[in-house]
Amino acid sequence: MSTWDFAGNFVVRMNRSHLLAVGIALLGSALLMTTAGCSSPGKSGRADGTGGASTGTGGNAGQLTGETGGSTGGTGATAVAGSSGTGGGADGGADPYPPPTVTPPDEDGSQLWLRYPLVNLPARLTEYQAGITQLVTAGSSATLQAAQAELVKGLGGLIGATIPVVSQPTAAGAVVIGTPTSSAIISGLALGSSLTAVGNEGYLVQATTVSGKAAVVVAGNTDVGVLHGAFALLRQLQCHQPLAGLALSESPKIQRRILEHWDNLDGSIERGYAGTSLWQWSALPGTLSQRYTDYARANASLGINGVVLNNVNADSQILTTSYLAKVAALANVFRPYGITVYLSAQFGAPQQIGGLSTADPANSSVATFWVNLAKTIYTMIPDFGGFLVKADSEGQPGPADYGRTHADGANMLEAALAPHGGIVMWRAFVYSDNGTDRIGQSYSEFKPLDGKFNAGTMVQVKNGPLDFQPREPFHQLFGAMPSTPLALELEITKEYLGEDTHLAYLGPMWQEVLQSDTTAKGQGSLVARVIDGTLHGYKLTAIAGVPGIGSDANWMGSHFNQANWYAFGRLGWNPDLNAQAIADEWIRQTFSNDPVVVTPVTQMMMNSRQNLVNYMEPLGLVHMMGTNTHYGPAPWVDNLTPADTNPYYFHKADATGIGFDRTSTGSDTVAQYFPQVASLFATRSTTPDDNLLFFQRVNWDDLLPSSGRTIWNELVYRYSAGVDAVQTMRNQWPMVMGRIDNQRYNDVADFLQIQHYEARWWRDTCLQYFMSVNKHAMPAGYSPPQQSLSYYQSLQTTCPADPTKPRCPAIYTGSPSPAITN
């Protein structure tokens, strides 16, 4: 049964028994193990599936059908995380979770992964009830109080009883938290070098004995370390890990783990699909929403320790004293959670709010403006993190306006901040019409400046050289700036991957870039080693993610988008974590530990990004989306200025072939990579299929060796497989019906239906367009596009009506699958 709901969503309510039958059949064929990622996250495997030395940019056949194994792509397939299998199911036996007698109560997603439901594995509940009986208070700092409050809430929820807070352990089962300074018990445990080794933000969480009685210790060198440890303990328990033998020792591998909000002062969010900005500027500093604290809790649970509050397309008003008072109020809320505030600085601020006639970094009045501003900021926010800057890009002013370099601009700001301990994060995303290959501009501008930046400056580089596309190779700058600390910038909000509605788990995408081998210093020079600082000995390290978090109850616009916030935080803490292990622990905390839930949902998530690549931009295609809103397909667009903003610029499809030649016979941008990688991408036989058209131009009738299909037939196949894979997800999702609450179940089902229609829209539009230029026919065995090219072109004027919740009701009709008919 289907209807339209009041929000214009097409809603399907399915018959449960029918769908369970489908689901159970699928479950039987599921290949995934329900691994427990919580305590033993596997080291990430090579995401490329090749096991080879040069790159991690995607395997060949192995990646078409998903990213859970990649084993057909070669020998280095993704590792499956820790296989302890606690929580049930992995031991090959029956589901140890009793089926719920009633469907769990509705949830709106606002609690994220911090839900703390009663443990529904009977033996584990008994174990926890015996092993966790009281919480020993640690101290009065705001941070320790936050840790204590989280444990009282979390432990109480999990074991279904109020946890008494005591000053000294009085019974077995005490949870003892603190630092050697705040807690005499912790100090008495003499944890020695094992504690000092976890540094300022890390923790030890151990099952041990205190005064001869069983206890759980959560220790840190700092109060924030204790808070992180409290969340780590709660993660273990939410994943139903055994208490016995619990021994975690963790510290973050990247210093600054930052969410970069693209929030405007009018409450809108650039590329946000989850409502309006969290920051209630007109109510600040007087009114502090509970949402700020919950946001801080969620970040602290992942170890995220920095927040850029405002859009990089920055409004200089935020640097005025009245706004800084509001920023200071937010900083005060976040500080107990170990989170520092940063701001995006508008390079033109000296003119816009400083009364100067120039923003030239060589002008002494300009430098003085920034020095004075920094003094003001640090008076109001003593632990201010620093400035993020987008300059000389997409119309933003910058040092190039005055004939100066990026280093000149960044160093001026650094000189103002450094005396106070602040840093500058200068973005390498430069988009201006310089007539060369678009993907080479950033490298060309920044590589020559290596070594010219002051010590308190980082250059922040997007994962790929273009712009957060569903798949790109890693950015050429990684490995190429040994004397300049590079930060990695990721986009969590799914601007190019289906916005709020499409289920696309980005963990595999980020693992792919992090595990890519730049070969800068020989094999093993992974992007992860560049950004954790170990490859070049960087003194500063950082990772930033653009979250799109907003006012929606579920924070992210959809329940599954929460997994991307989660994965960003976990990979920032440890960039070698395995995306599947992260998915596993997120599912357990967000939905259920029941393998009847974990198994299909893991499979859905792990396949989702490659599925999306297939139905949007397979074989290395990029930038085929609609103009401005970036919603829906518009591959025909070729009349925008500058030329490198057109989809046509990137695919160059014509009667003979398709693809952008970036080898020596074309733009030769491959030469910006280190030689081993350059030769891999420049050579047809070694270019991964998934990057083929990004680097090479091919004829429509060329054969793709990995599949034996022609390029045209392979495109049709991939587009079609992508659509039908959404059908598979829609068949898998009902397996969780009744095991999770109906509200979130139905929300997800509704979005999967939209995704299915939109996948077909992408496929049919792109195939119609390509047929209009290559004059090929649809091969046998595939369903033809449902509408004409001109019909799809006409949709650009009506879809979407609202770019913040983009929809295209005109195409939500008919049957998207099967796209492959035999």
Residues paired with 782 in a beta bridge? 820
408 forms part of the interface with ligand GCW (CB under 6 A): no
In terms of Cα–Cα distance, which of 424, 379, 378, 417 is closest to 398?
Answer: 424
| Catalytic member of 467, 489, 594, 747 | 467
Q: Closer CB to ligand GCW, residue 187 or residue 627?
A: 627
Q: Closer CB to ligand GCW, residue 467 or residue 724?
A: 467
Residue 533 token pair:
């600082």
Q: Closer CB to ligand GCW, residue 40 or residue 627?
A: 627
- Pick out residues in 250-269 that bind ligand GCW (CB under 6 A): 262
User: Which SS3 state, helix, strand or coil, does residue 215 take?
Assistant: strand
627 forms part of the interface with ligand GCW (CB under 6 A): no
d(CA 807, CA 758): 9
User: Which SS3 state, helix, strand or coil, does residue 480 take?
Assistant: coil
223 forms part of the interface with ligand GCW (CB under 6 A): no
Shortest Å distance, C-beta 570 to ligand GCW:
23
Shortest Å distance, C-beta 395 to ligand GCW:
10
d(CA 93, CA 127): 21
Say if strands 134-136 and 340-344 run parallel, antiparallel, or are unpaired.
unpaired
| Catalytic member of 48, 107, 489, 495 | 495
The answer to whether the beta carbons of residues 761 and 632 sit under 8 Å apart is yes
The set of residues, in sequence order, having a beta carbon less than 8 Å from that of 569 and lying 6+ positions away, is: 257, 299, 301, 302, 303, 304
468 forms part of the interface with ligand GCW (CB under 6 A): yes
Q: What is the DSSP string of 551-586?
A: SSTTSSSSTTTHHHHHHHHHHHH-TTB-HHHHHHHH
Place of tokens 């004397």: 483
Q: Please report how the helices 595-616 and 16-29 are oriented relative to each other, as an axis angle in degrees rounded to 10.
A: 80
Eight-state DSSP code of residue 740: B
Residue selected from 95, 127, 270, 383 as contacting ligand GCW according to rule CB under 6 A:
270
Residue 472 a catalytic site member: no
Shortest Å distance, C-beta 493 to ligand GCW:
10
Say if strands 134-136 and 165-166 run parallel, antiparallel, or are unpaired.
parallel
The answer to whether the beta carbons of residues 217 and 210 sit under 8 Å apart is yes
Q: Closer CB to ligand GCW, residue 250 or residue 499?
A: 499
The set of residues, in sequence order, having a beta carbon less than 8 Å from that of 94 and lying 6+ positions away, is: none
Eight-state DSSP code of residue 801: S
Using CB atoms within 10 A of its CB, is residue 383 exposed (0-12), middle (13-18) or buried (19+)?
Answer: middle
Compute CA 782 distance to the chain's CA centroid, rounded to the nearest angstrom.
34
313 forms part of the interface with ligand GCW (CB under 6 A): yes
CA angle 351, 355, 356 (to 5 degrees): 60
471 forms part of the interface with ligand GCW (CB under 6 A): no
Residues paired with 517 in a beta bridge? 526
Residue 414 a catalytic site member: no
Shortest Å distance, C-beta 622 to ligand GCW:
12
Shortest Å distance, C-beta 427 to ligand GCW:
7
| Catalytic member of 5, 91, 394, 654 | 394
Residue 288 backbone dihedrals phi, psi, to 5 degrees? -115, 110
406 forms part of the interface with ligand GCW (CB under 6 A): no
Shortest Å distance, C-beta 311 to ligand GCW:
6
308 forms part of the interface with ligand GCW (CB under 6 A): no
Shortest Å distance, C-beta 429 to ligand GCW:
5
Q: Closer CB to ligand GCW, residue 59 or residue 275?
A: 275
Residue selected from 124, 256, 390, 471 as contacting ligand GCW according to rule CB under 6 A:
390
570 forms part of the interface with ligand GCW (CB under 6 A): no
The answer to whether the beta carbons of residues 117 and 160 sit under 8 Å apart is no
273 forms part of the interface with ligand GCW (CB under 6 A): no
Shortest Å distance, C-beta 626 to ligand GCW:
12
Q: Closer CB to ligand GCW, residue 128 or residue 468?
A: 468
Compute CA 83 distance to the chain's CA centroid, rounded to the nearest angstrom.
24
Helices (H) and strands (E) in the chain, counts: 24, 18
The answer to whether the beta carbons of residues 178 and 141 sit under 8 Å apart is no
793 forms part of the interface with ligand GCW (CB under 6 A): no
The size of the interface with ligand GCW (CB under 6 A), counted in residues, is 10
Q: Closer CB to ligand GCW, residue 460 or residue 515?
A: 460
Eight-state DSSP code of residue 690: G
429 forms part of the interface with ligand GCW (CB under 6 A): yes
97 forms part of the interface with ligand GCW (CB under 6 A): no
- Pick out residues in 153-182 that bind ligand GCW (CB under 6 A): none
Q: Closer CB to ligand GCW, residue 308 or residue 412?
A: 308
320 forms part of the interface with ligand GCW (CB under 6 A): no
623 forms part of the interface with ligand GCW (CB under 6 A): no
The answer to whether the beta carbons of residues 433 and 390 sit under 8 Å apart is no
805 forms part of the interface with ligand GCW (CB under 6 A): no
Q: Closer CB to ligand GCW, residue 107 or residue 467?
A: 467
d(CA 776, CA 270): 39
Shortest Å distance, C-beta 313 to ligand GCW:
5
494 forms part of the interface with ligand GCW (CB under 6 A): no
Q: Closer CB to ligand GCW, residue 228 or residue 471?
A: 471
Shortest Å distance, C-beta 630 to ligand GCW:
6
Task: Identify whether 818 is preceded by a cis peptide bond (ω within 30 of 0).
Answer: yes
Residue 234 token pair:
């709660």
Which residue is at the shortest CB distance from ligand GCW? 467
650 forms part of the interface with ligand GCW (CB under 6 A): no
Shortest Å distance, C-beta 245 to ligand GCW:
45
CB atoms within 10 A of CB 1: 7
438 forms part of the interface with ligand GCW (CB under 6 A): no
763 forms part of the interface with ligand GCW (CB under 6 A): no
Binding site for ligand GCW (CB under 6 A): 262, 270-271, 312-313, 390, 429, 467-468, 495
Q: Catalytic residue numbers?
A: 394, 467, 495
